[in-house]
Amino acid sequence: MAPITPSAHLTDVRYEIRGALTRRARELEAAGLDIIKLNIGNPGRYGFEAPAHLREAIASHLHDSEAYGHEQGLETAREAIAAQQRARGARHVEAERIFIGNGVSELIDLALRALLQPGDEVLLPSPDYPLWSAATILNGGQPRYYRCLASHGHLPDPDEVEALITPRTRALVLINPNNPTGAVYPRELLQRLADVAARHRLLLLADEIYDEIVYDGAHFQPLAEVAGELPCLSFGGLSKVHRACGYRIGWMSLSGAPAHSAAYRDALQLLAALRLCANVTAQWAVLPALQDAPTIGSLTAPGGRLHEARHAVLHGVATSEYLDLVTPQGALYAFPQVRAEYIPHFDDESFALRLLEEESVLVVPGSSFNVPRSRHFRLTLLPPPAQLREVFVRIERVLARMAREQHRVVAA
């Protein structure tokens, strides 16, 4: 029998967050090594728990969860999401414009599948969360990347974004607070980007899954409130703010003038119906998650575990001979950069492999986030601060070895 040939659609699709390095880490674990895994923002693997009242809500509704639900999600959950969005200033948001899915990942795919014709372009940040690139490609689209450089605080330049627009451009994607950089976008920047979208009739897609995870006075500004009547699809969920990744509950909220997006809304409903419904059981956690007192603030405030873990990362970079970092203002990650003056011929994939094999630490190379010629790597802020301090000792050892090796080559 001839080997099975994979679909050509996968040729340009990458997801190295769970790719070859992760497979190598599993091999090393099987050989008896203890690997410190900093590659995935998965709170439950680092000792965080979903709030007890969310589990209680699910447990009390198990009997109500055995039949298929509405394709867009439980009405009580959608009403709670719509109320949250209206309170944040989003316009024309009602339950019929809310879609609940098996995580935001599924909804990103649905949103792009309902939008794109073959060859249509989507404006994506570089660095991006690579699922956005993958979903664009798998739905026949073409990613067009706008830069979010460390030298600019990992914030985009609206003029550069606008210069990338062609007649085939359909949507502008913003990830705020940002994964992988931790940047939090100011209102003025969001307004300029919304103005670009309005001038060119683009759909705004706002990945806001980290909306409440901000540090040291940073302010999260919802894009929908700035967009006003402009169609905007905002994504949120339980996985990060509520530490419930395994529940696989995300949502998207369609705001702006209904007349401009009625056909698109109906297309989303069709696609939602084709997959029947999202996980009914976990949807019962949405209402208490959004209506009860928030629980993330105690973790991100000074003295909270996430705040102290972030401080450990900042200290590790500050004391490093080889690293720079734009201080993350939000989300669950840091995106350090290796200084060119010490390691001029740096390869982020080779570094990540050496860090794994020589020091038993797993990180994600910056190039995995669609950054060309990357000198970056991403690590999560979820481990205990003491472990992160140890991680930077190990990172420094690998970088020192790389610097000595390159110095010897130059000297020879």
Q: The dihedral of CA 42, 47, 48, 52: what is its sign?
A: positive
Give the pLDDT confidence score for residue 351 in this predicted structure: 95
Give the pLDDT confidence score for residue 394 in this predicted structure: 97
Averaged pLDDT for residues 305-314: 98
Angle between helices 305-318 and 385-411 (to 10 degrees): 20
- pLDDT above 60 for 89: yes
Averaged pLDDT for residues 69-93: 97
CATH 3.40.50.720 fits domain 63-291: no
The pair of three-digit structure tokens given for residue 203, joined into one six-digit string: 């759909």
Give me the CATH code for the 8-49+298-411 domain, please: 3.90.1150.10
- pLDDT above 90 for 150: yes
> Contact, 104 vs 244, CB < 8 A?
no
Same fold for the pair 8-49+298-411 and 63-291: no
- pLDDT above 90 for 407: no
Measure CA 307 to chain center.
19
Mean pLDDT taken over the chain: 95
- pLDDT above 60 for 412: no
Cα 2 from Cα 302, distance rounded (Å)? 60
pTM (global) more than 0.75: yes
Give the pLDDT confidence score for residue 411 in this predicted structure: 56
Give the pLDDT confidence score for residue 122 in this predicted structure: 98
Q: What is the pLDDT of residues 263-278, one digit of tens each?
A: 999 999 999 999 999 9
> Contact, 100 vs 272, CB < 8 A?
no
3-state secondary structure 78-106: HHHHHHHHHHCCCCCCCHHHEEEECHHHH
Give the pLDDT confidence score for residue 408 in this predicted structure: 67
What are the distances in angstroms from CA 202 to CA 11, 173, 208, 257? 27, 10, 18, 14
More confident residue, 408 or 41: 41
Q: Where are the domains of the chain?
A: 8-49+298-411, 63-291
- pLDDT above 90 for 193: yes
Give the pLDDT confidence score for residue 15 in this predicted structure: 74
Averaged pLDDT for residues 365-386: 95
Measure CA 61 to chain center.
30
Least confident of 17-31, 41-55, 221-235, 248-262: 17-31
- pLDDT above 90 for 93: yes
- pLDDT above 90 for 146: yes
